[in-house]
Every structure is written in C-alpha cells, then in structure tokens.
C-alpha cells in the first residue's frame, strides 16, 4: 500500500472519528454547557489522559514502534512475536501498579491539575470522584496503543484508526441516555460521562483482538514474577525502556505545559477550562486528519528505511509528509481563523451553551489556529527523529519550547485571558516545528527536494484567495457601507488575481451586493452611534 493510500485510509477513518467526536462534544455542550461541573469532568478526564500519554501513544509508542519495526526487518516475525509478548507482560505490570496508585491518590492529582476547582467544593469533589472512576481507562488505552503499534508495523492501519469511534459512541450514549436517567434518580448527571469513558476504553481494546488473532500476534501476557523477570532481561525490552526514559521526559514536558495551562485557566473566569476544551476539540479535526494520520503511516516506514540504511527513501518520505502538511495545513489554518465564530456558533450554540460561551470559545480557537501549521508539522517531523531511535533531541527542544511557552503566557494571559493560553501553545508549536526541521536538515537526515520555492508561493497565493473569499462570504470585508467606498482597497484586491472569478467577487463587493448579508447588517448596526 502506497504512503498516500495508507495516509488517506487513516485520514478518512480519523474523519469519522472526529465527526462522532464532534457530535459527542455538541451533545455535551448542549446538555451541560460550560460550568463548574463540566470543568470538573474535563479536569478528571485529563488526568488519565495525562498518564495515557506516558504509557500509550506518547512515550511508549515512540520507543516501541521503531524497535518493533527494526526487529521485524532484521530478525523476522517469530522473534518479533516473542518481543511483543514480553513487552505486553511488562506493560501490564506497570499499568496495574499505576492504576492502583492513581485511584488512591485522586484528590492529590486533581489538586495538582486544577487547584482552582476549590473555588467550588462541589466541583472539586466531583472531579475526584470521576478521576477514580476513569483512572483504569489508561490501562485499556495503553494496551490499545500496544496493539495499534503492532498492527501499524504490519501495515494494518484501518482498525487502529477506526477504534476511537467507539469511545465517542459510548460517550454519546452516556450523555444522551445515561445523564437523563441519573438525573431522574437524583444523581449528578455528568457522572454518566465517566461511565461512558470506561465503556469506550473497553470496547476499543476488544475490537483490536480479532485483528491481532488474524495475524497470529495476540500478546501472551503473564502475571508470574518469573515471566516479568524474563521479559525484563530481553535486550529488546531493555532497549525500549532505555528509549522510553527520554521519551517520558519529552511527554512529561508536554503534560507539564498542559498542567500549567489548566492551573492558570482554573483560576480565571469559571468556564475557562471548558472553553479551551471545546476549542481544542475543533482543533483536533485538522491536527488528527493531517498530522496524526501522516505520522502514523510514516513512523514504521521511516524506521524500516533507517534499519535498511536507505537514506534517500528516508528523506523522500519526510519531504512528502511536509509537502502534504503545507498543502492542506495552511488553508486549514486560514479557514479556522476566518470562520472561527460561525464554526463555533453553528456547532455549539444550542441548549445550555450561551452567546458568551460562543464568544469565549471563538477566541480560544483563533489562538490555536494561529499555530496549526506547527501543531501538524510536529507530528511529521518528530517521527524523523524517533525512527532513528533519537528521542533525546526532540526532548531537548520540547524543554526549551516549554520555557518559551510559559514566557508567552506571561505576556498573553493578562491581555487575552484564556485565549492567551491557546495562543501561547500555537506560537510555541511553530517554534518547535521550525527547530525540529532545522535539526533534521543540519544532520543530513532530510534534504529538501527541488521545487519548494514555487510550491510555497502557490500555496500562499491560494490561501490568500481563500481568506478573501471567506471574508467576502461572511460580510466582514467591505461588503457593507463601512468600507465599500475604499477604492484603494478595491484596486489592491485586483492584484490578487486576474481570473473571472476574482473579478466577479470584487465587482460584487464594489456594487454592495452583499450589504444585506445578516452578518454584514450586524456589523453596520454595531458601528452606528
């Protein structure tokens, strides 16, 4: 299967996942709005997700997939199956211990994540309760990550890409059916979401089993002490553990940034955590469909190319990934910045989600959108290091960017409040991506193919036209009498292109054809004294 076909498969299934995820968020927003209780759930859900980053798609995947791909290329399937069994055994031991400690330490974890919830004791207690219920979720998701790593290495991308849909469906059922039932019983309705998370985790793991059985790669997990000792002595597991240590540091840096941001948001206006969460959900559409999809496909193939010492193939795959990032990522960023408010209003403005919630979520989304290219590019550039079993370099960069991000928080938050947190993350992502790119070029791992200059200009021109047409459609350009007489601006617009379509749009603006657009009418009304 070609890189493009594989990436398209993952992207299409990811789209299904994000659509169901959007339905989930719409239902949650309409049912619960943005309040202290939704903040409590979001904080409680972030805690197991934080540890999931350590044991699942974060540090573990970064260390596991390159070693697994190298073992498959150099030692064959039989030896690789033994590696899978031993890694699964050690991972299960670590997960068991982590879940027990996590459930016991839930109050401390909630306080460390969002001490501002203490402003509402009811919200803090709810967060602790839901954290205890959802903490075992990391066990399911970590084993899902192991299974996904195996399937992706054998180029079976469909099942791992489709499984997140099950979590969304479980949470939709919980919000739609479970919440009203709990309310009727006199129980806090938002607790249904915690049950939905656990059900979704179990379903995701269950659907992986048939795919692994078909390949003969279902891990054999043993909880005997002798099996754990034997697994620990295996050179492959020791190599994974060795690689995980800097990866853990790198993931920890990212989670420390999230922790700091959540802490700051919890001390801002109530609802700030939820506004950031709702905006983040929308950002996951382009980041997952582009960055994650491409990164998932590239990782095992980059590792295989590195193991075969094929430097040209290695560089060409990175070049292909970066071109896709720019081709699709830049227009997506323009669209998010231009359509932020209509997008949020259309998707979220129902039920308990107020006008104020729309405005606050919009500003957060625009902050994230400013750094979309960086957020997507990191998913392609970082595997360029991981495939070489070099995790230390991205970690060093991540630590430096963490410091820069917090300095940006100091500058942005006093002026933009919660939106400043999102903007700091966006700018930090741009810096991180540029740093990774320069690092790959300097070490000679990536040599840009010819034609990048023309390609960049084409994408920039197309994105500029997209911005013009988007503004025209929204009535925020001089479609109204606020700027329709600005002849200089009209002449400037003509320079963007000479096609009939562009000329027709400019004529429409000058003739005020769009002055009765609802949004244009609102702009005019707001500008009048």
The answer to the question of residue 27 being in a domain is: no
Mean pLDDT of 422-450: 89
Is residue 246 within 8 A of residue 391, CB to CB? The reply is: yes
Q: Which of 244, 262, 290 is the last residue of a domain?
A: 244
Per residue in 242-263, is it b (16+ CB within 10 Å) or e — as a string?
ebbebbbbbbbbbbebbbebbb
The answer to the question of residue 312 being in a domain is: yes
- Intra-chain end-to-end CA distance of the chain, in Å: 63
Using pLDDT thresholds of 50, 70 and 90, give the confidence band for residue 479.
very low
- What confidence tens digit (pLDDT) does each residue in 7-27 have? 677 767 777 877 887 788 778
Is residue 126 within 8 A of residue 56, CB to CB? The reply is: no
The answer to the question of residue 219 being in a domain is: yes
- Compute the half-sphere exposure of residue 333: CA atoms within 13 Å on the CB side of its CA: 25
Q: Radius of gyration over alpha carbons of the chain, in Å?
A: 24
Is residue 168 within 8 A of residue 20, CB to CB? The reply is: yes
Least confident of 232-246, 284-298, 485-499, 513-527: 485-499
- DSSP category for residue 449: P
Q: What angle do CA 258, 259, 260 make, to 5 degrees?
A: 90
- What confidence tens digit (pLDDT) does each residue in 381-395 have? 888 887 777 878 888
For 457-507, give the DSSP string: HHHHHHHHHHHHHHHHHHT-STTSTTTTT-HHHHHHHHTT--SHHHHHHHH
Nearest of 264, 509, 452 to residue 364 by alpha carbon = 264
The answer to the question of residue 252 being in a domain is: no
pLDDT at 151: 87
- DSSP category for residue 443: T
- Whether residues 112 and 169 fall in one domain: yes
The answer to the question of residue 317 being in a domain is: yes
- Whether residues 302 and 361 fall in one domain: yes
The answer to the question of residue 457 being in a domain is: no
The token duo for 402 is 């963490």
Using pLDDT thresholds of 50, 70 and 90, give the confidence band for residue 250.
low
Q: Is 379 exposed, middle or buried (0-12, 13-18, 19+ CB in 10 A)?
A: buried
CA distances from 143 to 6, 167, 199, 267, 303 (A): 23, 15, 15, 35, 22
- Whether residues 429 and 490 fall in one domain: no
Q: In this model, does residue 506 exceed pLDDT 50? A: no
The answer to the question of residue 306 being in a domain is: yes
Please state, in angstroms and rounded to a whole number, the distance separating the CA atoms of residues 480 and 403: 44
- Whether residues 338 and 306 fall in one domain: yes
pTM of the model: 0.62
Please state, in angstroms and rounded to a whole number, the distance separating the CA atoms of residues 156 and 208: 11
Is residue 394 within 8 A of residue 59, CB to CB? The reply is: no
Please state, in angstroms and rounded to a whole number, the distance separating the CA atoms of residues 262 and 250: 19
Please state, in angstroms and rounded to a whole number, the distance separating the CA atoms of residues 80 and 74: 9
Domain range enclosing 336: 1-12+271-451
- Whether residues 40 and 153 fall in one domain: yes
- Whether residues 337 and 299 fall in one domain: yes
Q: In the chain, how many domains are there?
A: 3
Q: In this model, does residue 125 exceed pLDDT 80? A: yes
Please state, in angstroms and rounded to a whole number, the distance separating the CA atoms of residues 356 and 344: 11
For 115-165, give the DSSP string: GGGGGSHHHHHHHHHHHHHHTTHHHHHHHHHHHHHHHHHTT--HHHHHTHH
The token duo for 291 is 């960055």
Nearest of 237, 388, 369 to residue 298 by alpha carbon = 388
Q: Map tokens 């068991």 to a residue.
A: 96
- What percent of the chain clears pLDDT 70, i.e. is strictly above it? 82
Q: In this model, does residue 182 exceed pLDDT 60? A: yes
pLDDT at 489: 42
pLDDT at 431: 92
Neighbouring C-beta atoms of residue 184, cutoff 10 Å: 9
Please state, in angstroms and rounded to a whole number, the distance separating the CA atoms of residues 427 and 405: 8
Q: In this model, does residue 492 exceed pLDDT 90? A: no
The token duo for 90 is 């050690």
- Whether residues 165 and 239 fall in one domain: yes
Q: In this model, does residue 346 exceed pLDDT 70? A: yes
Please state, in angstroms and rounded to a whole number, the distance separating the CA atoms of residues 150 and 157: 10
Mean pLDDT of 493-512: 45
Please state, in angstroms and rounded to a whole number, the distance separating the CA atoms of residues 379 and 23: 25
The answer to the question of residue 114 being in a domain is: yes
The token duo for 224 is 């005997």
Question: What's the chain's average pLDDT?
Answer: 78
- Whether residues 387 and 281 fall in one domain: yes
Is residue 35 within 8 A of residue 273, CB to CB? The reply is: no
- Whether residues 226 and 189 fall in one domain: yes
CA dihedral 512, 516, 519, 525 (to 10 degrees): 90
- Whether residues 120 and 229 fall in one domain: yes
Please state, in angstroms and rounded to a whole number, the distance separating the CA atoms of residues 291 and 18: 14
- Compute the half-sphere exposure of residue 64: CA atoms within 13 Å on the CB side of its CA: 30
Please state, in angstroms and rounded to a whole number, the distance separating the CA atoms of residues 12 and 473: 28
CA dihedral 222, 224, 229, 230 (to 10 degrees): -50
Neighbouring C-beta atoms of residue 511, cutoff 10 Å: 11
Using pLDDT thresholds of 50, 70 and 90, give the confidence band for residue 54.
low
- Whether residues 507 and 416 fall in one domain: no
- Whether residues 86 and 128 fall in one domain: yes
CA distances from 206 to 13, 163, 197, 215 (A): 18, 10, 14, 16
Least confident of 84-88, 95-99, 457-461, 468-472: 468-472
């Amino acid at each position: 299967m070609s890189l493009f076909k594989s990436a398209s498969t993952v992207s299409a299934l990811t789209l299904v996942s994000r659509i169901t995820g959007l339905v989930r968020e719409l239902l949650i927003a309409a049912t619960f709005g943005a309040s202290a209780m939704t903040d409590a759930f979001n904080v409680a859900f972030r805690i197991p997700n934080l540890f999931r980053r350590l044991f699942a798609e974060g540090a573990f995947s970064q260390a596991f997939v390159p070693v697994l791909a190298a073992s498959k290329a150099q030692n064959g399937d039989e030896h690789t199956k033994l590696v899978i069994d031993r890694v699964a055994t050690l991972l299960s031991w670590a997960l068991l211990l982590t879940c027990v400690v996590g459930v016991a330490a839930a109050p401390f974890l909630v306080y460390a994540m969002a001490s501002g919830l203490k402003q509402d004791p009811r919200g803090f207690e709810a967060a602790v309760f839901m954290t205890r219920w959802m903490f075992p979720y990391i066990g399911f998701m970590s084993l899902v990550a192991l299974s996904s790593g195996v399937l992706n290495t054998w180029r079976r991308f469909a099942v791992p890409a489709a499984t997140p849909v099950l979590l969304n469906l479980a949470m939709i059922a919980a919000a739609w059916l479970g919440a009203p039932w709990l309310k009727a019983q006199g129980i806090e309705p938002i607790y249904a979401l915690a049950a939905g998370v656990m059900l979704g985790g179990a379903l995701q793991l269950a659907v992986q089993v048939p795919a692994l059985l078909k390949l003969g790669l279902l891990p054999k997990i043993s909880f005997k002490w002798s099996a754990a000792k034997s697994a620990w002595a295996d050179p492959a597991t020791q190599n994974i553990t060795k690689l995980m240590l800097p990866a853990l540091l790198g993931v920890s840096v990212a989670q420390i940034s999230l922790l700091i941001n959540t802490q700051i948001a919890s001390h801002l206006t109530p609802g700030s955590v939820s506004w950031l969460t709702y905006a983040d959900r929308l950002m996951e559409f382009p980041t997952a469909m582009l960055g994650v999809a491409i990164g998932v496909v590239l990782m095992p193939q980059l590792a295989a190319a590195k193991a075969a010492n094929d430097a040209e193939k290695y560089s060409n795959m990175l070049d292909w990934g970066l071109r896709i990032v720019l081709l699709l990522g830049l227009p997506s960023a323009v669209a998010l910045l231009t359509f932020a408010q209509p997008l949020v209003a259309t998707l979220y403005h129902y039920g308990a989600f107020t006008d104020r919630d729309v405005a606050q979520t919009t500003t957060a989304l625009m902050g994230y959108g400013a750094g979309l290219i960086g957020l997507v590019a990191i998913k392609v550039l970082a595997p360029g290091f991981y495939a070489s079993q070099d995790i230390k370099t991205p970690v060093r960069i991540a630590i430096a960017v963490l410091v820069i991000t917090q300095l940006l928080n100091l500058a942005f938050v006093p002026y933009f409040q919660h939106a400043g947190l999102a903007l700091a993350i966006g700018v930090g992502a741009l810096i991180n991506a540029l740093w990774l790119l320069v690092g790959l070029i300097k070490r000679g791992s990536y040599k840009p193919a010819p034609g990048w200059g023309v390609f960049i200009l084409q994408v920039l021109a197309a994105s500029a036209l997209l911005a013009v047409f988007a503004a025209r459609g929204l009535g925020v350009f001089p479609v109204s009498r606020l700027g329709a007489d600005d002849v200089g601006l009209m002449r400037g617009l003509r320079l963007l292109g000479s096609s009939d379509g562009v000329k027709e749009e400019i004529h429409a603006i000058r003739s005020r054809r769009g002055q009765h657009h609802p949004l244009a009418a609102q702009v005019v009304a707001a500008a009048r004294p």
